[in-house]
Amino acid sequence: MSEKRFYTVGKLVNTQGLRGEVRVISTTDFPDERFKKGSELYLFHPSLDKPITLKVATRRSHKDFEILSFEGYSSINDVEKYKGGELKIPDDALLELEEDEFYIHQLVGCLVVTDTGEDLGKIVDVLQPGANDVWVVKGKRGEILLPYIDDCIKEVDIAGKRVVCHLMEGLL
């Protein structure tokens, strides 16, 4: 049996009040699902030998944070030691996506070719600066940043690990 893979859905950045609540910066597109009451999350922290399972007791949003509390953790003393930890989900908890949607980890490693057939390299990272994602491609030409917009990305084949793009003027 293969080992479980985990994907980060949030970073525990601070405590909130004295009753065991924590501030989490969400890194998921599905915060309502990931942080709903009863959801199981895995906490990865340098102080832990192995991740611990946490069950969400309460959730509310405040400014740019998710404020969470966990079952069995009712005091600031219970959670303060976990600041800086990452909240993750196992691969079997990933949600089914609509057609033509994909997770970032599915893009990394995809071969990128132009609509004229030129091999540009492989996607090594996905940046999320704001308006649209930017795919980082490394290959013979060095590092290329491709905006994830219709004018640039023409075809994404996750199963075949291949992306076809149109090189707009100024991208190289």
CB 89 within 8 A of CB 103: no
Number of other residues whose CB lies within 10 A of the CB of residue 104: 15
- Contact predicate 38/57, CB 8 Å: no
- State residue 2's pLDDT score: 55
Q: How many C-beta atoms lie closer than 10 Å to residue 4's C-beta?
A: 10
> Could you give the CA distance from residue 13 to residue 55 in angstroms, rounded to a whole number?
18
**What is the predicted pLDDT for the residue at 1?**
43
Picking from 122, 102, 125, the residue whose alpha carbon sits closest to that of residue 113 is: 122
According to the model, what pLDDT value does residue 99 have?
77
pLDDT (0 to 100) of residue 143: 92
Using DSSP's 3-state secondary structure scheme, residue 80 falls into helix
Local confidence pLDDT in tens for the 172 residues of the chain? 457 889 999 999 999 999 999 999 998 888 999 999 999 999 999 999 999 999 999 999 988 899 999 999 999 999 999 999 999 999 888 777 777 788 888 899 999 999 999 999 999 998 887 788 899 999 888 899 999 999 999 999 988 999 999 988 876 7
Alpha-carbon gap, residue 66 to 56, rounded angstroms: 12
**All domains of the chain in start order, with CATH:** 6-93 (2.40.30.60), 104-165 (2.30.30.240)
CB atoms within 10 A of CB 92: 7
pTM for the structure as a whole:
0.73
3-state secondary structure of 114: strand
Q: Cβ distance 121 to 140 under 8 Å?
A: yes
